[in-house]
Amino acid sequence: MPSSDSRIRSALYVDFDNVFGALLDLDPKAAIRFANSPQDWLDRLALLDLPPPSQRAFLVRRCYLNPAGSKPDPESTEGRRLIFSRFRPFLTRAGFEVIDCPALTSFSKNASDILMAIDIVEALTHSTNFDEFVIFSADADFTPVLRRIREHDRQTLVVSSSQVAQAYRNVANKFVDEAGLIDLISPVVAPDELPNVLATADILPTAPARIGGAPSDADYEVLRGRAAAIIFQMLANSSGPILLTALAEELRRELGNVIKETNWLGRGALGALIDSGPTARLSRSHLHIWDPDRHEGPLQPASLKPLPEFIAQICRVTEMPRLTHEEYSATFKGLATFLSAQPFNLTLITQSVRDRLKSNGIEVGRNPIGFVVRGSMYGGIPLNRQPPPEAEEIALAFRTSILHNARSSQMEINDDQERQLTEWLSVDV
């Protein structure tokens, strides 16, 4: 159980080669931020998906790295390589114990996964009695380790930078996928994204300046600015929509009795407060609030489109997005159009294709588009290649990855069903 001081006693294990290498293929700038500024994402990870005032205390921080490992620098035109050892000082400065894992074979295979597994299992009997184990790796070989952790009644958080087996996802208590990881390590706030109140949030008062009377207009302006800063910060630290009840609790904790005394800072209700001022651009339902530039909205039952029986089944098994044939076709075309005009970047391509489809009356969120992007890459099409792939090539690669994932889950697929999937994931002329 978590300690009484609201700390989650966490042990953190990072397979650097696995995470950094996959990130480099998806978003080179995000990969460099991950390696150069680990303290930034550690601070956000400490609060990720936790109700206030809880936060993670990373009592163990271990990073497993091949000092001679390297990857081609995708932004270099001179064949430069990124040597992993160059990032050691940044990891050490962030409090990591860096464990050297040199290659053991001519194929550059190292023992990081074995060393991590041994360290994790040993930590289960540590006198600290860790509440949670956080594992940065997409290697499904850790599935038995996660099961062992669960047997000891401990929590697990898995962070992956690439597509993983469904069994690996499901055995973890919490799972952060590639898009969530990029969101985690991206700057919390873009300069043009939040109002200026964030710059002064730390010095704003938490109660009206005038004592013994009704707040003045200036008091209300300051308080609403403070509330907006809190709302934006909570959303920046979250990988998805947050409950309005959690937001209300945080506002009451930060602003105190002034929330009750002023009836939601003069707005009469939390919803009315959100719908005014700089937070008006945010999206909310009767249960959740989310930032449409960062998060997908919570899935509503009505949004589950009716699909043919086999297509619905393969969506359940592989988590393939429940899109219509027309939506898939438009998505493949949108991806090809983006790649023909500019270099691949996971963050930019999902946003650009979503906006392009929306302008044509097709509603496909960034998460499904990101799933198609990653599936296509795992199906054998490097989206950063030159010349860029055509829509038909992207569709074929995505179909290949879906079939592989389905069969890896021991799903039996006959020739007729395979033809049905091929037609569903084809590109209309």
Assess contact for 155 and 54: CB atoms under 8 A: no
Amino acid at 328: Y
The pLDDT value recorded for residue 429 is 80
- Global pTM exceeds 0.75: no
Query: Is it the case that residue 391 has pLDDT exceeding 70?
Result: yes
415, containing H or E segment = helix 415-424
167, containing H or E segment = helix 166-171
Assess contact for 318 and 166: CB atoms under 8 A: yes
Which of 311, 314, 337, 338 has its CA nearest to residue 325?
311
Mean pLDDT of all residues in 46-53:
82
Query: Is it the case that residue 195 has pLDDT exceeding 60?
Result: no
The pLDDT value recorded for residue 187 is 63
* Per-residue pLDDT reduced to its tens digit, 306-335: 889 999 889 888 889 999 999 999 999 999
The pLDDT value recorded for residue 135 is 97
Assess contact for 260 and 251: CB atoms under 8 A: no
The pLDDT value recorded for residue 136 is 96
Amino acid at 268: G
* Per-residue pLDDT reduced to its tens digit, 327-380: 999 999 999 999 999 988 887 899 899 999 999 999 898 888 988 998 998 888
Least confident range from 22-36, 232-246, 269-283, 354-368: namely 232-246
Facing residues of 110 across strands? 103
Percentage of residues in the chain having pLDDT higher than 70? 88
What does residue 29 show for φ and ψ, rounded to 5 degrees?
Answer: -65, -40
C-alpha–C-alpha distance, residues 397 and 113, integer Å? 28
Q: Any idea where the domains of the chain sit in the sequence?
A: 7-185, 196-290, 309-424
Radius of gyration (C-alpha) of the chain in whole angstroms: 23
- Level-2 CATH architecture, domain 7-185: 3-Layer(aba) Sandwich (3.40)
Cα 270 to Cα 201, 241, 343, 387, 418: the distances in Å are 20, 16, 42, 51, 50
The pLDDT value recorded for residue 397 is 95
C-alpha–C-alpha distance, residues 35 and 246, integer Å? 32
User: Model confidence at 105, in pLDDT bands (50, 70, 90)?
Assistant: low
Least confident range from 1-15, 44-58, 223-237, 326-340: namely 1-15
